[in-house]
Amino acid sequence: MKELHIQKNDAGQRLDRFVSKAVPLLPESLLQKYIRLKRIKRNGKGARRDVRLVEGDVLQLYISDEFFEKPREENSYLKVGTPRLDVVYEDENILLADKKPGVLCHSAGVWDYNTLIANIQAYLAQKGEWKPREENAFTPALCNRIDRNTGGIVIAAKNAEALRILNEKIRAREIEKYYLCAVQGRPKPASGRLENYLFKDAGKNQVYIKQKPEPGARTAVTEYRTLCSAGALSLLECRLLTGRTHQIRAQMAHAGWPLLGDGKYGSERFNKGFDEKGQALYSYRLVFEFPTDAGILNYLRGREFRVERVDFVEKYFPGRQI
């Protein structure tokens, strides 16, 4: 139990709003529940959530110590009362989540509990599969990342051995990732291979296409095929042979087929005709090739997983199955 003494500058606030500031890791749903159960008391008695605090009040908080820790990315999962996850596949070793556009995989330099990893960790903790207070070193972790405004399948490892294997397989290019994207125009040829060099300007978080090798530029290779066209747009499937920052977005724009809604590499004039807040790009399909030994994950060899639906496909290419 912890006690908080209400000072002059604290007075006048509602009980629930004051406690939410004083204990920022406590989920809103749990806060309201604790008030109802009288685990949060005012001057030794239960109180309504909307009661106004006055100077001199003493709050008794019967709340686990972990919620009083300083908020940081490592404990963001505590703030997640009801995890928001679209699970594509799950077993005792891995979880595949369909990350929606607009969601961050990890916090971007500031504490944020609405990230994909925080929701996955909260989900596993609440199920009892991960017991953070009993772990000395391991924390469920993401094996790949996807840009904030790009959606798609993200792999999470539930144990240290799975994390080690998956990281090795990703480095060895033994996990195939396929993307869907809606682009301006009709690519010619309808299928092919884009191969050039990408130079990243870290300050601007932007990459530039180079046709010849130069210091700082890295090889980028993408295979693509046109699945269908409708009006001014074409739907492409892309297979990454390298995994560079903004690879598909930059290469498609350089080839003359910028992604719909891409404010960084696309056509502002073209995008004005569509109500899109981010690039039409989705990592929709994952194949565990595993031509070499995968240890405890050998059972995944040859298995393929894909998302059930992609919003921009349904919107601009109705009837198209993915």
Q: What Å distances lie between residue 318 and 49, 88, 99, 121, 310, CA to CA?
A: 48, 23, 22, 36, 11
69 pLDDT higher than 80: yes
Residues 33 and 165 in one domain: no
Residues 43 and 114 in one domain: no
Amino acid 204: pLDDT: 87
109 pLDDT higher than 80: no
In a domain, 14, yes or no: yes
Domain boundary among 171, 199, 216: 171
Residues 6+ apart with CB under 8 A from 118: 73, 76, 77, 79, 80, 107, 112
Average pLDDT of the segment spanning 214-228: 95
Alpha-carbon distance of 312 to 318, in angstroms, equals 9
Amino acid 113: pLDDT: 87
Residues 182 and 164 in one domain: no
Residues 255 and 196 in one domain: yes
Domain boundary among 15, 35, 68: 68
In a domain, 296, yes or no: yes
19 pLDDT higher than 90: yes
CA dihedral 272, 278, 284, 288 (to 10 degrees): 140
Residues 212 and 264 in one domain: yes
Amino acid 111: pLDDT: 81
Amino acid 276: pLDDT: 87
Whichever domain contains 141, its CATH number is 3.30.2350.10
pLDDT digits (tens, 9 = 90+) for 191-216: 999 999 999 998 888 999 999 999 99
Amino acid 202: pLDDT: 86
In a domain, 77, yes or no: yes
In a domain, 229, yes or no: yes
Residues 198 and 215 in one domain: yes
Residues 15 and 38 in one domain: yes
Domain boundary among 50, 68, 86: 68
Residues 166 and 185 in one domain: no
Residues 106 and 211 in one domain: no
Amino acid 145: pLDDT: 92
Residues 301 and 200 in one domain: yes
In a domain, 230, yes or no: yes
In a domain, 84, yes or no: yes
Residues 185 and 293 in one domain: yes
Whichever domain contains 34, its CATH number is 3.10.290.10
In a domain, 98, yes or no: yes
Instruction: Tell me the residue range of the domain where 38 lies.
Output: 2-68
In a domain, 322, yes or no: no
Total number of domains in the chain: 3
Residues 298 and 180 in one domain: yes
Average pLDDT of the segment spanning 143-149: 93
- Whole-structure pTM value: 0.89
